[in-house]
Chains A and B, each alone.
Chain A
């Protein structure tokens, strides 16, 4: 019997104006990143509130990454600054509760940074894979 290779499920919240286009560019340039990265397009990284992150974990994500415009480049002027504060506090709180730090990340990726997008996803997926399955923020009801 073949042992199924463990592949982490990753949810990436991507800002419509930068990272989502960055992901597109990565695709156009034939840059590889794991197929288990599920992208959710959001109008701005600051659309993501902490419940989104927790819900992603609840529904089976092993890692959650937020990608937004570089600070200063927000399509809406300041959205990503709020994201930055919010996620800094949320990640610190998750760590405080003993949840692995490497499961969450924020990365600023512009529309021109297809290569960075792919590299970020590869690196993140690798780090999450090293942690193994998300056990500390799982909802058993949602496991198949």
Chain B
């Protein structure tokens, strides 16, 4: 384990940013933390988490895939993706680190997503342990330990220092280049204990996934509560777009007037044209669309992924939903452990 003092952090950032792009959470003018490319003068945010999740780094909301140029009878297909450059993301919380693992299970299995894979390869994740979890946190429900955040390098912050530990080869390489001072683990362990105590006191600490998981489809699909839960859902995409694990996307063609641009962008199962096909829509009502989102995270995803749930308990949807409906209310109502 290595350390640097709180005052030195920007020097360390400067070292990382020398040659690679470094992104850190910084407060925007509204006071919300947003991943920002670090340069001299960018201040690290103290916020618990960023407004939007870091999934953008690997699975951006919008990306051009290819371009078609039509000339006479020939169609030229061009791969227009920009070459991925090495980059580093600092300050990713444990829940968001776990979300990458979930995204990997979608994009890094056949059919392999080369766009995602290339960014994943070029990205180094420096995670940061939580010290002040908030009332909307429920990562423990999904077995995530916010005091051991994972990533290529894990960082713990105490009052006077940042402690660094590499978890992967990529991380070790980067950490070695930073030439930090070696140190013991006592301060970190103390910090971990303190946070763990807070975690056990959180209002959502008792939430369990017992009623969910693979094989529960028939049991949960027809529950009458879906109707009341989705009663006031606006059908907007806020929950899906702030979610670190929502991975649905749409591929569309755009006629630029001088060619066709094929792009993909995030889609939301809350939208009326989600997975619309030639025969029409699969899910005609908001109840069905609403149910899809939560069944996907709590039943279908674990069914196909060795029991891993499609939620990491980051709490963003709890904070952002315009009508304050969210996965916790769904789990408590449908799961019955209210």
A→B interface (CB under 8 Å):
59-60, 141-142, 144
Contact = CB atoms under 8 A, between A and B. Distances in A.
Nearest to A58: B257
B18 to A, nearest CB: 30
B146 interface: no
B261 interface: yes
Interface in B243-262: 254, 256-258, 261
Contacts, number: 9
User: Is the interface on chain B under 10, 10 to 19, 20 to 34, or 35 or more residues?
Assistant: under 10
A60 B257 CA distance: 10
A60 B258 CA distance: 11
A59 B257 CA distance: 7
Given A141-B254, A142-B258, 7 more contacts: A59-B257, A60-B257, A141-B256, A141-B261, A142-B256, A142-B257, A144-B258
B205 to A, nearest CB: 47
Contacts of B258: 142, 144
A141 B256 CA distance: 6
Contacts of B261: 141
Contacts of B254: 141
Contacts of A142: 256-258
9 contacts: A59-B257, A60-B257, A141-B254, A141-B256, A141-B261, A142-B256, A142-B257, A142-B258, A144-B258
Which of A59, A60, A141, A144: most chain B CB closer than 10 A?
A141
B224 to A, nearest CB: 43
Nearest to A59: B257
A59 B254 CA distance: 12
Among B254, B256, B258, chain A packs the most CB atoms within 10 A around the CB of B256
A144 B258 CA distance: 7
A96 to B, nearest CB: 20
A144 B257 CA distance: 9
A38 to B, nearest CB: 13
A101 B254 CA distance: 29
Nearest to B64: A141
A142 B258 CA distance: 7
B71 to A, nearest CB: 14
Interface string B254-282: 10111001000000000000000000000
Contacts of B257: 59-60, 142
Interface string B47-85: 000000000000000000000000000000000000000
A59 B261 CA distance: 14
A60 B261 CA distance: 17
B78 to A, nearest CB: 14
A1 B54 CA distance: 48
A88 to B, nearest CB: 30
Which 4 A-B residue pairs are closest in the complex by CB-CB distance? A141-B256, A142-B256, A144-B258, A142-B257
